[in-house]
Amino acid sequence: MNTAQTLPGDIELRISASPVPYREALAEMTERNTAIAAGEARELIWFLEHPPVYTAGTSAATSDLLDPRFDVVEAGRGGRYTYHGPGQRVVYVLLDLKKRARDARGFVHALEGWVIDTLTDFGVEGFRSEGRIGIWTQDVDGREAKIGAIGVRIRKWVTMHGFAVNIHPDLAHFTGIVPCGIEEFGVTSLARLGKDAQFEVWDTALLARAPRFLAALETKCPRETTE
């Protein structure tokens, strides 16, 4: 079951109550991306959850697939291998950047900022790390760990894919891959950090910050902030 609402700018917000198989979501997202580019569909921000799956980005290295215990899907997005599964909130963002700043780096920067800002509502300090894709934080053992993954594709200036934040997934499922090709750092979640780990709570906080995210897309991102 899906619930649909409208965000500022007549953007459709869809929240899927049941897990959506990754291949099914990818096909629908690809079709919607094409329709948005043709002016035949509204923009879409889609909150969902997947059954366990490993997805391969365009830079995925075979050596990073350690144990293909789940389905492995070529996603077409940037990046390397990523895990999606129960307890992880995935957000697909399909927006027409022709209506905004045509700035791919700025779009990714804004996505990162949306997650980082929302994490502060849970008392978690998220941050970008030079040379490492994703959203990072300090884990319970004091080491840096990834709490959110970013992966996007832009076709005809219409975005697709988006980000995934670990709310309460089984972190052991990540051990089948080298997440994003980075071996020396682990993954963490809001639940592992002792924070309220319900989708409803996370979604409410994320949506409260959506207007700021959308406003950030109106301005080209300064180059020095993305180096």
Which residues are 129's β-sheet partners?
132
pLDDT at 197: 85
Contacts for 77-80: CB closer than 8 Å, 24+ residues apart: 77/151, 77/152, 77/153, 77/160, 77/161, 78/151, 78/152, 78/153, 79/133, 79/149, 79/150, 79/151, 79/180, 80/56, 80/178, 80/180, 80/181
Record the pTM. 0.92
Strands 144-155 and 71-74: unpaired
Q: Is 221 a catalytic residue?
A: no
Fold adopted by 2-218: BirA Bifunctional Protein; domain 2 (3.30.930)
Of the candidates 108, 124, 177, 180, the residue annotated as catalytic is 180
pLDDT at 183: 56
Nearest to 115 by CA among 78, 81, 89: 89
Residues 2-42: tens digit of each pLDDT: 777 889 889 999 999 999 999 999 999 999 999 999 999 99
Q: How far is CA 192 from each of CA 12, 138, 221, rounded to the nearest angstrom?
A: 32, 11, 33
pLDDT at 225 over 50: no
pLDDT at 188 over 90: yes
Residues 68-111: tens digit of each pLDDT: 999 999 998 888 889 999 999 999 999 999 999 999 999 999 99
Mean pLDDT of 163-169: 97
Q: Sign of dihedral through CA atoms 22, 121, 42, 100?
A: negative
Contact 54, 65 (CB under 8 A): yes
| Chain-centroid distance, C-alpha 136 | 13
The pLDDT confidence band at residue 182, using thresholds 50, 70 and 90, is low
| Percent of the chain surpassing pLDDT 70 | 94
Domain residue limits, the chain: 2-218
Strands 44-48 and 11-16: parallel
pLDDT at 114: 98
Residues 133-156: tens digit of each pLDDT: 899 999 999 999 999 999 999 999
The pLDDT confidence band at residue 227, using thresholds 50, 70 and 90, is very low
